[in-house]
Chain A
Amino acid sequence: MNTYAIRVIYKQEMMRAWETLLQSFASPVLSTSLYFVVFGSAIGSRIQHVEGVSYGSFIVPGLMMLALLTQSIANASFGIFFPKFTGAIYEVMSAPISFLEIILGYVGAAATKSFIIGLIILITASFFVPLHIAHPVWMVAFLVLTCISFSLFGFIIGLWADDFEKLQLIPLLVITPLVFLGGSFYSVSMLPPAWQTVTLFNPVVYLISGFRWSFFEVSDVSVAVSLSVVLVFLAACLLTVWWMFKTGYRLRQ
């Protein structure tokens, strides 16, 4: 195990976030606060309660997920795309380092950043709404799993993208809609039955549902199913990255 390599990659990636502190950490806080003002106060005052939870509190897990997913993908995809773009990737590719070590460095750093952002949002939210976390351990588990799997997903996008446009494409065209339609701001049970069925094909629904359960013990689907979906997604991402490195996909061909 080349632990020095993991360490220097991780450190370099974390430094990058530190140097752009405002962008890395302040912007998610700001946008979350805005969501609270708009959805929590303005609209939420008319909705009152969803499944026995005040609307302002109800949207907290969804908001966190929205930020986690976008941040994980953005951080991890950029982290590997940028050296590809400058050409500096040659060094990582010529180093005595396995795909697992590369992932631990790059994806580990991206996931750490999103995790921190998730916590910051949680703290921010606590200033707006009363928060009670029913299952803190599960909450953290979902948080960690989400950060890791979507950072991995972002890493794949970063490996795949060969220009900036493609780098933006998936987050914009796939992730944002999936999160918005994934029950961040409503309960799936509020939808007409036909749409409820459609929604079940959206993996983000399971993520948000499980995460919300850890807060309020209310969920759209069972927790076990949520957890399985997250784990399957994680495994699929890992397999994809493994395959990409094995075949040298877009890197060594």
Chain B
Amino acid sequence: MSQSSQTIVSISDLSKTYANGYQALKHVSLDIQRGEILALLGPNGAGKTTLISIICGIVNASSGTVTVGGHDIVSAYRITRGMIGLVPQELTLGAFDTVWNTLSFSRGLFGKKPNPAYIEALLKDLSLWDKKNSVLMALSGGMKRRVLIGKALSHEPTVLFLDEPTAGVDVELRKDMWALVRRLRESGVTIILTTHYIEEAEAIADRVGVINHGELLLVDDKLALMHKLGKRQMIIELETPLSAVPAELVAWGLELSEDGKELVYTYDPHKSNTGVNGLLQVINTAGLPVKDLRTTQTSLEEIFVSLVNKRS
């Protein structure tokens, strides 16, 4: 990958072996583009949190380098960390602080002059304004999550890491979170989120990186990824159920649904000859009464499962 001026975070050949000898990251290289939403998709234990933690300065890398805005995260940590906001996976908050104080603390910690007007706007945006004097301990899980987002945004970062922002969050809150992420992106913030929910990556990411067993299996444009790997299925709905695939259609590798009402043809939409035309002709000649026709695209989930299975 060539590093363009559009690259905001550049990870190269990054590996991490924990003190107990466990290798959590294996030679990961990745360029993150300014202003994009990148989803890092992977099952539990894949190394997502480790990757983020290294970029943010919480964990030391074993080898490899990372730059943020062109600055090395080790030698120029003051610059890089100042650019980054992190919303951690766990609800790790002190207990006795108030919402207002904890956001002000975060802002100061990142070297920014106090700005009550900004904190106020932020709290309002996160629907936390009426909770500003509440003690953290007394907040619900959803509110704590928003406080953590507020803390991460308190110093006006240009890159935001969200580590499993919607794990254990109900559907409605998840939609709110997605809306928030989109609004942030519109304001120019680059967003990297980790998730093991495919629909999350599918819903909001521009690009998706698939990570498993510490390896980055692929990174691609979400649409291109589905385009590249997605198999398409044509489902032929029949007027009258069949008990078996008719002899003249056996060569097409069709599958018959359990109730006998649907024939399913799986094909690669990017081949020059998908076979759809030929199949339709044969069905026509065979005189099968077709009620309806539809096609479906493989979801990211299926892509992901097939990728993960292939490698392990």
Chain A interface residues toward B at CB < 8 A: 2, 4-5, 7-9, 12, 16, 19, 82-83, 86-88, 90-98, 248, 252-253
- Given A2-B111, A4-B111, A5-B108, answer yes or no on A93-B90 (Cβ-Cβ < 8 Å): no
Q: Are B81 and A95 in contact (CB under 8 A)?
A: yes
* B84: A residues at CB distance < 8 A: 94
Q: Which residue of A lies closest to B96 (CB)?
A: A19
Q: Are A86 and B95 in contact (CB under 8 A)?
A: yes
* A253: B residues at CB distance < 8 A: 18-19, 59-60
Q: Which residue of A lies closest to B62 (CB)?
A: A253
A4 to B105, CA, bound (A): 9
Q: Are A97 and B109 in contact (CB under 8 A)?
A: yes
Query: Does B250 sit within 8 A of A, measured CB to CB?
Result: no
Q: Are B58 and A4 in contact (CB under 8 A)?
A: no
Q: Are B109 and A9 in contact (CB under 8 A)?
A: yes
* A83: B residues at CB distance < 8 A: 94
- Given A88-B94, A252-B60, answer yes or no on A2-B78 (Cβ-Cβ < 8 Å): yes
Chain B interface residues toward A at CB < 8 A: 18-19, 56-60, 77-82, 84, 86, 88, 90, 92-97, 101, 104-114, 151
Minimum CB–CB distance for B99 against chain A, Å: 14
A93 to B77, CA, bound (A): 11
Q: Are B109 and A91 in contact (CB under 8 A)?
A: yes
- Which one, B59, B79, B113, contacts A4 given CB within 8 A? B113
Q: Are B92 and A87 in contact (CB under 8 A)?
A: yes
A142 to B111, CA, bound (A): 33
A19 to B95, CA, bound (A): 13
Q: Are B104 and A8 in contact (CB under 8 A)?
A: yes
Show 6 residue pairs from A and B whose CB-CB distance is below 8 angstroms, ordered by the A residue.
Answer: A4-B112, A86-B92, A88-B93, A94-B56, A96-B81, A252-B60
- Which one, B18, B58, B77, contacts A96 given CB within 8 A? B77
Q: Are A94 and B112 in contact (CB under 8 A)?
A: no
* A98: B residues at CB distance < 8 A: 78
* A91: B residues at CB distance < 8 A: 86, 106, 109, 151
- Which one, A4, A86, A88, A94, contacts B108 given CB within 8 A? A4
Minimum CB–CB distance for B150 against chain A, Å: 12
- Which one, B59, B90, B101, B109, contacts A95 given CB within 8 A? B109
Task: Give me the 4 closest cross-chain CB pairs, A-B, nearest first.
Answer: A87-B92, A8-B108, A96-B81, A96-B78
A8 to B105, CA, bound (A): 6
* A7: B residues at CB distance < 8 A: 108
Q: Are B92 and A95 in contact (CB under 8 A)?
A: no
- Which one, B19, B86, B108, contacts A90 given CB within 8 A? B86
- Which one, B81, B101, B113, contacts A94 given CB within 8 A? B81
Minimum CB–CB distance for A93 against chain B, Å: 5
Minimum CB–CB distance for A249 against chain B, Å: 10
Minimum CB–CB distance for B28 against chain A, Å: 18
Supplied contacts A82-B94, A94-B56, A94-B58, 16 more A-B pairs, CB within 8 Å: A4-B107, A4-B108, A4-B111, A4-B114, A5-B111, A12-B105, A83-B94, A90-B88, A91-B109, A93-B57, A93-B58, A95-B81, A96-B80, A248-B60, A252-B57, A252-B60
Q: Which residue of A lies closest to B90 (CB)?
A: A87
Q: Which residue of B lies closest to A5 (CB)?
A: B109
Q: Which residue of B lies closest to A247 (CB)?
A: B60
- Given A87-B88, A88-B93, answer yes or no on A252-B111 (Cβ-Cβ < 8 Å): no
- Which one, A5, A19, A82, A252, contacts B58 given CB within 8 A? A252
